[in-house]
Amino acid sequence: MKKMFRLLVGAAAIHIAFTACSESDDAIIRPERLDGIWDMWWVLDRDDVEYEPEGQYLRAIFNSDGTLVINKALQGHDLSYSGTYELINNTVHITTGDGAPEQLEFVGIAGDEASAWYYDSDGGQYHIGIRKQNHLSPEWLAGTWHKTWIRADTIWVSDEWGKIDTDSIDWVATFDDDSLTYSVHLSLADSRLSPSESAVTYSGEYEIDCDTLTGTTMDGLSERMEVLSIMSANTIIVRHMRDRAGMSGTVIGMKRY
């Protein structure tokens, strides 16, 4: 009986130790686990239903030295700012560059995915799903991407045509990860433009540094595409910048088909 009792106690101790270790691994965000890029990929609506928000995003980049960068658009406008943070238990206490406090509280963790509460400095509270991401690579980017939305209602095209409605813009970009080349087809459905003016196709070469793509067209023009968030395996939000009039500094939602 005593031997059986000792065996039962030993088994219970092993079970408790295993359970505690599992909870420690799965439920706690340690600094080395937090370091890196975290992107929002779903939000809970008022009925607690998950949805992928179009036009909304949140990217938090945590550095090991206690600094961070946040790119976000949760209330209809795009913001990018830097700051510092301190990790206490499962809550990241953020101080923006302006000294404003924010918090990111992890409430459920499964591998590189988590649910969290984000409390911003404007009083907003968001229950979100966030996922740890790798830096952008040519292999991940390869394929054909289509514009699904553009932040602005209108964009400036030229001195002659001025602004046009962004709903009339069709923007398709194809990236080749072997040759590091890309091509873009841009069409503008505007009655003021002739057929030759309403559609443009150009190509060039590109390189990637962290999460910014720099392209040089065959005409020698440069453009940049900064990743603001990776929402899913085939959905991305970027800020597109060119060295001449057009979609300069415009936030674009893109989907790969």
Domain with residue 101: its CATH number is: 2.40.128.490
The CATH number covering residue 189 comes to: 2.40.128.20
Predicted TM-score (pTM) of this structure: 0.78
Does one domain contain both 114 and 150? no
Contact indicator for 56, 73 with CB cutoff of 8 Å: yes
Does one domain contain both 180 and 76? no
Q: What pLDDT, on the 0 to 100 scale, is given for residue 1? A: 45
Residue ranges making up the domain that contains 227: 138-256
Whether 6 is in a domain gets the answer: no
Q: What pLDDT, on the 0 to 100 scale, is given for residue 32? A: 92
CA distances from 90 to 27, 38, 87, 104, 228 (A): 8, 15, 7, 9, 24
Domain closes at, from 133, 155, 189? 133
Domain closes at, from 85, 111, 133? 133
Does one domain contain both 194 and 240? yes
Kind of pairing, strands 79-88 and 67-73? antiparallel
Q: What pLDDT, on the 0 to 100 scale, is given for residue 248? A: 53
Cα torsion angle, 228, 237, 231, 107, sign: positive
- Gyration radius of the chain over CA positions: 23
For the chain, what is the domain count?
2
Taking the C-alpha atoms of residue 148 and residue 196, their distance in angstroms, rounded to an integer, is 24
Domain closes at, from 107, 133, 159? 133
Q: What pLDDT, on the 0 to 100 scale, is given for residue 107? A: 92
Contact indicator for 204, 211 with CB cutoff of 8 Å: no
Closest CA to 246 of 152, 143, 125, 111: 152
Whether 150 is in a domain gets the answer: yes
Q: What pLDDT, on the 0 to 100 scale, is given for residue 18? A: 34
Does one domain contain both 67 and 104? yes
Whether 23 is in a domain gets the answer: no
Taking the C-alpha atoms of residue 247 and residue 147, their distance in angstroms, rounded to an integer, is 12
* Residue-level pLDDT, tens digit, the chain, 257 residues: 444 434 333 444 433 333 333 444 556 888 999 999 999 998 886 666 666 777 889 999 999 999 999 999 987 778 899 999 999 999 999 999 999 999 999 998 888 999 999 999 988 899 999 999 999 999 999 999 999 988 875 565 555 555 666 777 888 999 999 999 999 998 877 666 677 677 888 999 999 998 999 999 998 889 999 999 999 999 999 998 876 544 457 889 999 98
Does one domain contain both 110 and 144? no
